[in-house]
Every structure is written in C-alpha cells, then in structure tokens.
Amino acid sequence: MEVMPSRPQVQIIDSPIPSPNDDQVLIRVVVSGCNPKDWKLPGMMPDTPPLNQGDDIAGIVEKVGSRVWEFKPGDRVAAFHEMLTPHGSWAEYAVAWQHTTFHIPKETSFEEAAALPLAAMTAALGLFSRLGLPEPWVKAVSDEERQNTPLVIYGASSAVGYYALQLAKRSNIHPLICIAGRAGGERIAPLLDQNKGDVLIDYREGEQAVVEGIKKALNGRPLLHALDAVSEKGTPEHLAQVLSQPVKKGDKELRAKATFVLFGKMGVPDFVDQSTTLVGSVHQDEKDFGYVWYRYMARGLQEGWFKAQRTEVLPGGLASVQEGLERLKDGKASAVKYVYRIQETEGVERSEE
C-alpha cells in the first residue's frame, strides 16, 4: 500500500513479505489504524517517493528477530511502526521494532488495539517528557501536589487528548481543564472528577468563553502546564491568554510549559517554554520511554483503567484507506479513529485469527 505525495491518493501494489532484522518483529496485520499525519506528511514532503504511511499495527506475530525475547509467533500484539520507513501497517504483513511492540490482553480487540500506538504514545510523551509531569509511579511527588497541578488538555476528545486525559488521571493530576466540542459531553465528561476541580469547556462557545472558563477553573492558581492536541485554528492563541508568568517556589523559578502536536512557533509568550511532541522520538533518543510506557499501557488495558479511542471500521480493508485519508483531511473524524480490517481487502487470503 503506497500513498502518493501530491494529495491523498492511494495505490494497492503486490509486495514481497518483509523480513525482520535481529531486533524487529514481523506481524501479520489484522487491523491497521489511520492518523492525520498519514495525509499531511505526503503533502509536506512532495519529493519523497510514495510510501506505506500506516504506523498503527494490531495483529499476530509471524516471525521474530534473533535478539527478540518478549515475543513469539502466535502472540497477539499491537505495535508502532517506525514512521517513513518501509513495511508499514497498510499491508498483510508489517515490521516493528521490539521496543515499540506490546502484548494486548485477550479482552482487547484488534480494532481497539489498532487505535492505540501512535496517538497514545504521543499523549504520554506530551505529558511526561515534554511537560515534565510526574509519572504515576513517582513517589517523590505527593498526592496533594499532584491534585494542585492544573492541566489544560485542548482537544480532549481527539485521540491524543482522550489518551492524555486517561494518563493524567492515572497520575492523579488535577484539576483537568478539558476543552472539546460536541463529543465532549458523551466521551469526556464521564471521566472527569468535579470534586477535584475537573471541568469540561465547549470550544464552540467561542474564544472568550474558553478563556474565561479556563480562568474560572484555575480559581486563582497559576497555569503552568498545557497540552494542545489541536495546535491550530486559534488554540495556541487561547492558551497564550491564560498561561502564567514564571512562579517563584522557594529558590526555584517555575516556568509555564506548553506542548503542541504541530510544528512552528505557536504564538505563546516568550516566558512559556514551548515544545513540539514528536512521537517518532521513541524510535530515536527516547527508546526507553517508549519501551516502558507501551508496557504500562498494556497493563492499563488489562486492568481496565486505560481504554482505546472509539473506532470506526471502514469497510473493504485497504481499499478504504483512500476514503479514510480524505475524511481526515476534510475534518470529518470527530472523536473517532478510522481502522481497516486487512482481510476485508479483495484478494487477501482469509485466515483464522
């Protein structure tokens, strides 16, 4: 499966089954996910040859490299394929590095698993690597301090925002100030704890209502942490009005941090430490982070405190990748993750899962 660079244009081609290297896993893909970057990157890199852009893998281990020790053929797994490399997830077989592959519980469907790898890791990186919030297992930070750490999640009903909300809750971060649209009442509100100051703000009420809603939720406290899972259409400008000046704490100066999912200068004040959350870092200098967090998420799936974003299966398998890209480009995905069942592709041999 290749995506042409000029626009979301897909071509299905026959390719040989890839072989994993010593540290990789070959996975028979049962379900693959789709992400906004899948249509954005080809347009941003028009000179790059067509490439299989699929990075969310859910399936069954077919073969493992000589240094792979956690997985064996037949295991049910999900994995994050390394972006912009061959053998992505829009295929019958895909390759992933062992450190970004993780077991999925028997209670987790392949459709649910395919909604996780890229977006969930983006959320974890944003919260705990870019914003520096305390991870759930860190004992040096008290519950009192965690529950007095306001966090804005802009785009809380997006895939990244939905996972960020769950992970922040797991780390007992409050109040959670969640900004979402029409899906917020159904998907986000039930996850919030009003007793800890959590609130849901509807961005459809306009900029002034969003800004005033954030200020009211802060109740005089400084806002030092914001994760913007939208990062366009005015969201950075809204945050610029509420992020706090540096705060003195003993002999330390605490600076506000905001992380975004898109490149570029976002227009927040210079006193705010701005970063971009790039999920590809778990294939580069944050391999350990990716290794630990994927396994922790798998535990969360098994224990029930971590759940996948709502999915919609587009019929026809790989033949529907084109439709998925166009829907994402046109902004039609609202609180939903598009996924493809590979065996629904015409010409693909059916097999037992």
Rounded Cα–Cα distance for residues 169 and 13 (Å):
43
Question: pTM of the predicted model, to two decimals?
Answer: 0.95
Going by pLDDT thresholds of 50, 70 and 90, the confidence category of residue 353 is low
Rounded Cα–Cα distance for residues 83 and 308 (Å):
21
Rounded Cα–Cα distance for residues 185 and 134 (Å):
28
Report whether pLDDT(6) > 70: no
Name, in order, each residue with C-beta under 8 angstroms of 162's C-beta and a sequence gap of 6 or more.
Answer: 156, 187, 188, 309, 335
User: Which tens digits make up the pLDDT trace of 99-140?
Assistant: 999 999 999 999 999 999 999 999 999 999 999 999 999 999
Report whether pLDDT(49) > 90: no
User: Which tens digits make up the pLDDT trace of 244-279?
Assistant: 999 988 888 999 999 999 987 788 999 999 999 999
Pick 51 or 314 by higher pLDDT.
Answer: 314
CATH of the domain spanning 24-117+285-344: 3.90.180.10
Domain 122-280 CATH class label: alpha beta
User: Which tens digits make up the pLDDT trace of 70-85?
Assistant: 999 999 999 999 999 9
Residue 351's pLDDT is: 60
Backbone angles phi, psi at 352, to 5 degrees: -75, 145
Long-range pairs for 206-211 at CB < 8 Å and ≥24 separation? 207/234, 207/237, 207/238, 210/179, 210/238, 211/238, 211/241, 211/242
Going by pLDDT thresholds of 50, 70 and 90, the confidence category of residue 5 is very low
Q: What are the sequence ranges of the domains in the chain?
A: 24-117+285-344, 122-280
Report whether pLDDT(165) > 70: yes
At residue 162, the 3 state secondary structure works out as helix
User: Which tens digits make up the pLDDT trace of 331-344?
Assistant: 887 778 999 999 99
User: Which tens digits make up the pLDDT trace of 269-312?
Assistant: 999 999 999 999 999 999 999 999 999 999 999 999 999 999 99
What tokens does 27 get? 């996975």
